[in-house]
Each structure stands twice: as structure tokens, then as C-alpha cells.
Structure 1
Amino acid sequence: MAPAIAYSKPQHRPELPALAEQEVLQKRNDELEKELKRSLEREENMKQELQRTWERLRVAEEAEERLCSQLGELEAESVDQARAYRVRLMSLMEQLSTAQKVLQQASISVPSSQ
């Protein structure tokens, strides 16, 4: 008679501690995935905020350049006006001096403004 081979079917039921550990690990994994998702969302929000800030900075720099240009033009204009005013003032002073000389030569007394 041939020897009988006993075959026992392995049990596919994990032990209770291993099952509990697997559940804990699965929960932890879920928590980490949620935290990763929140972190990626925060990163995306920060990127968008940085982009908006960068755009505001670019606009501010362009405005500063325009203001500096306008200020330079105004300074040049004010210098031109000051020169024209000085030339006009000198011309009027010469006219007044000439008028005083003519009056003195005509022997008309003009009260001094001093």
C-alpha cells in the first residue's frame, strides 16, 4: 500500500494583531495622503499668490519708471521757466534803470524805493 500524503490547506486568515496593524498603517497612509494633498494645495495657492505679487511688483516698477520720467521732464521744464523768468526779470531791471536815467537826465525827481 502506498503511503498517504496528507495535504493541509493553509489558512488565509491573517492573525488579529497583523490585521489591526494593517488597519493602523492604512489609516496612517490615508492621513499622510490627505496631508500631502493639503500641502500640494497650499503650495499651489502660494505659487498663485507669488505670481500675483510678482505682477503687482512689475506694475509698480513700470509706474515708478513713468513717474521718474515725468519728474525729469518737470525738472527740465522748471529750469527752463526759471531761466526765462530770470531773463525777463533782467530785461525789466534794465528797462527800469534806463527809465530812471532818462528821468534823471530830464531833471525829474523820482522817489527811491529804498
Structure 2
Amino acid sequence: MAPVMAIAYPRGGGVPKALLGRKGVAGEEEVEELRRRNEELEREVREGREREEKLGRELNRVMERLRMVEEAEERLCSQLGELEAEAVAQARSYHLRINDLCERLADAQRMLHSSSSSSLK
């Protein structure tokens, strides 16, 4: 579409006769059409700016939410790491306790076996 140049005239003044030349009413209609088109384009620009501002505000809100979510994720990862370390420590402790109980059971079985062997003789 070719660029359009609009001319603003004082309210109520209409189109100056010098611009109309010999065309008369046809020229005035063309100027009115250009004025309407200019107003339409100005409205579209204004609406575009309003949309852009709205999207900018929405982007800022989303970025703030993202920052909060990332901070929460960091806290959760830290807590998870602490829980994993605690779970490993408990597993080691349980493993040592199980080994100790197995040794005690083996000792008790050996004592029973040796006492039953000596009583048979």
C-alpha cells in the first residue's frame, strides 16, 4: 500500500477552496476519505501501542513469577539434597546395625552349636 499523507484542517472549517481547485465536490470527498483513513490509522496505532503496553506488563508479571518459581526450585533442590544426605546416613547406620546383629546371631548360633556338641560327648 502506498504511503498516505494527511492534512489536518481546523474543525468546522472544511477543506480550503484552494485545495479543491476545479475538482470541487469530488476533491472534497477524496480529502474526507483521506481524513477518515488517517483517523483510522491513528486509531490502529493507538490500539497497537495499548496492546504493546499490556503485553509488556504481562511479560513483567510472568518474569516475576518465573523468578519466584526458580527461587522455589532452588529451595526444593537444597531440601532434597539434605534429605538425600540424611537417607544415606540412615542407610549406612541401618547397614552397620544389621551387620552387628548378624554377627551376634552367628556368635549365638556358634555358642549353641558348641554347647550342644559338648553335651553330646
> TM-score w.r.t. structure 2 length?
0.73
CA distance in 1, matches of 2:106, 2:58: 70
* Counterpart AA for 1:103: L
Q: CA deviation at 1:17?
A: 2.7
The reply to whether residue 78 of structure 1 matches residue 87 of structure 2 is yes
Q: CA deviation at 1:76?
A: 0.7
CA distance in 2, matches of 1:96, 1:28: 98
Match of 2:32 in 1: 23
Match of 1:67 in 2: 76
Say which one has the larger Rg.
1
CA distance in 2, matches of 1:80, 1:67: 20
Q: CA deviation at 1:16?
A: 2.4
Q: CA deviation at 1:99?
A: 1.0
Match of 1:37 in 2: 46
Q: Residue 102 of structure 2: which of 66, 85, 93 is its match?
A: 93
Q: CA deviation at 1:30?
A: 0.6
CA distance in 1, matches of 2:96, 2:29: 99
Gaps of 5+ in 2: 1-15
* Counterpart AA for 1:26: R
Q: Which has the higher contact order (CA 8 A, sep 6+)?
A: 2
Match of 2:6 in 1: none
Deviates more, 1:63-72 or 1:81-90: 63-72
* Counterpart AA for 2:35: Q
Match of 2:12 in 1: none
RMSD of the TM alignment (CA)? 1.5
Percent identity at matched positions?
Answer: 52
Gaps of 5+ in 1: 1-11, 109-114
> TM-score w.r.t. structure 1 length?
0.77
CA distance in 1, matches of 2:113, 2:29: 122
Aligned residues: 97
Which portions of structure 1, spanning 4 or more consecutive aligned residues, are displaced by more than 6 angstroms?
none
